[in-house]
Chain A
């Protein structure tokens, strides 16, 4: 497996983010949403890891922590610098962040909101270069034009000085990809980058992202609710539930042989584009709740079809290797 041979590029160690629950303006928060709770994973050079789960599971918060749009409550975020040292950027501030921002970029879900409507495509895509003080205006223009061609906005000259509202959703997302790539980052957090796009447009953007990852040796944390998309976009998948990673394995292994009861239910609920296919239904109880000061036991206990007395009396189970790098957080597997 190639990705395991690559060096570790990004490492999250026991990453935690708590959000205070506002009760009133004047009182101090005394309860917290455990949005991300002691989450650990690594991403290798050129590898793409998908983070999947339902709304509210903490996948977007995890992504925002990695690009430091949020500051973690605790835990470490190690990213390899140019000299090959792993540096912890979990609590970096201001000026210290600039070098880091060159290496890590983010692509957002909604291309209608993530681009400034008053700025031309050139302004938007070249902004990271301007901020980092790279190149003269002429050089920037050439660089932006080359990249626009590469992301499929051809001829670049007809796009450079247009505004976002003149572009379709797919074209806008290509602009967002170009903006993320313009300063040659090593690592991109992509938060549902294709979920707003139509099928016939989506495939082009997915393929483009995969090709660019290979060409430029970029790694992705690919955040999605859609397991079928994750299958195509990543070598490994991590399943999140209420702030915890409950299972992590190579993509095909996880989809064909899920071990955690939640992953099983999730996979069994995905509709299959084939009317002849009979899905095996794995019902689970209730719905997803908010992890406000959760009990210190397994997060899935309330809904779990295989829970036991042991689960009730023990802490949330650790992620354990059940063989071949297939990690599961469950006492009963």
Chain B
């Protein structure tokens, strides 16, 4: 298969660094939403790779395209969403080429998802255990009721829920328990990849901490790959091996977690971090990013961040910067990146 340069660079970088083949390769993914006012360019030429057992975090603000990427991976786009270009390679298969029926075998069994609002991800009129058994039945077929319940109990224990809770209804669960149940459901048929879209956003900090811990433990135990999606760079920093920073539908920067924090190259990544308050370390002034994210009905020319960028030069207004490897394994899409200092 012929791959575009940006993603091939990432694959090469990855092979030289980890000697591993990626499990998932997202290549120049472009998707739009049709609206009455025109097309919204929600995801534009996004490329990244995911290795076995790896966790990648996609971080960015509302409307940056991170959730649209997640929905694309499962081909669960809303009715007005459509793919304009690119590939999503799962092994040697481009899942964008699969029929809906073939896609059903990928969904849940190979790629599953922990949804954002755990309140709405469970059907309120069915017992939680029944809903998970249904998911198992769809893919594996339920042998006996006994076996299925056994599997649910196993899953509940894995995510720190009392197996007795499987015969209860969602409203009898607390917010944290519901989120755990949704995780158990995502794990039900041993997927290779789990996408967790803001898995802890609605939860209190102590519960959030436990759930993130739980997710990491399960991931390690089962050797799954994870894609975390969040607006919260602190959460992403906790759970990700590599981090992709998205802005206005494009990948601005992608590298291993430590490099992103130690040497952010894209001015947006730098701004995002300088604007984020922390309870540790010296209390530095929070930097304000001027302006607001662009309207994706009519995105700015060149680099989509240029109207807000302190580093912007003439070229940024004219030409879209490609995602380039600026340091080993560290990719950024910028004509005038931050100074790299020792």
Contacts from A to B (Cβ < 8 Å): 54-55, 168, 170-171, 198-204, 206-207, 225-229, 231-232, 252, 255, 265-277, 281, 284, 287-288
Contact = CB atoms under 8 A, between A and B. Distances in A.
Nearest to A170: B292
A276 B262 CA distance: 9
Q: Nearest 6 A-B pairs (CB), nearest first?
A: A269-B209, A198-B61, A200-B289, A271-B234, A228-B277, A54-B204
Contact of A225 (B205, B209, B277, B288): B205
B258 A275 contact: yes
Contacts of B262: 276
A198 B293 contact: yes
Contact of B272 (A200, A272, A277): A200
A273 B209 contact: no
B278 interface: yes
Given A228-B234, A272-B237, 18 more contacts: A54-B205, A54-B206, A168-B292, A198-B61, A198-B62, A199-B233, A199-B275, A200-B308, A225-B204, A226-B277, A227-B205, A231-B279, A272-B280, A273-B261, A273-B273, A273-B276, A276-B258, A276-B261
Interface of B: 61-62, 174, 176, 204-209, 212, 231-235, 237-238, 240, 257-258, 260-262, 271-273, 275-281, 283, 286-289, 292-293, 308
Contacts of B271: 200
26 contacts: A54-B206, A168-B292, A171-B292, A200-B61, A200-B271, A200-B293, A200-B308, A201-B292, A203-B286, A204-B288, A207-B288, A227-B279, A228-B234, A229-B277, A232-B283, A255-B279, A266-B205, A269-B206, A271-B205, A271-B212, A271-B234, A273-B276, A274-B237, A275-B260, A276-B261, A288-B204
Contacts of A281: 209
A265 B278 contact: no
Given A252-B283, A271-B238, A202 B278 contact: no
A265 B286 CA distance: 26
A178 B291 CA distance: 19
A94 B242 CA distance: 58
Contacts of B61: 198-201
Contacts of A200: 61, 271-272, 275, 288-289, 293, 308
A151 B273 CA distance: 24
Contact of B176 (A252, A255, A275, A287): A287
Nearest to B281: A274
Contact of A199 (B261, B276, B278, B308): B276
A76 to B, nearest CB: 31
Contacts of A287: 174, 176, 206-207
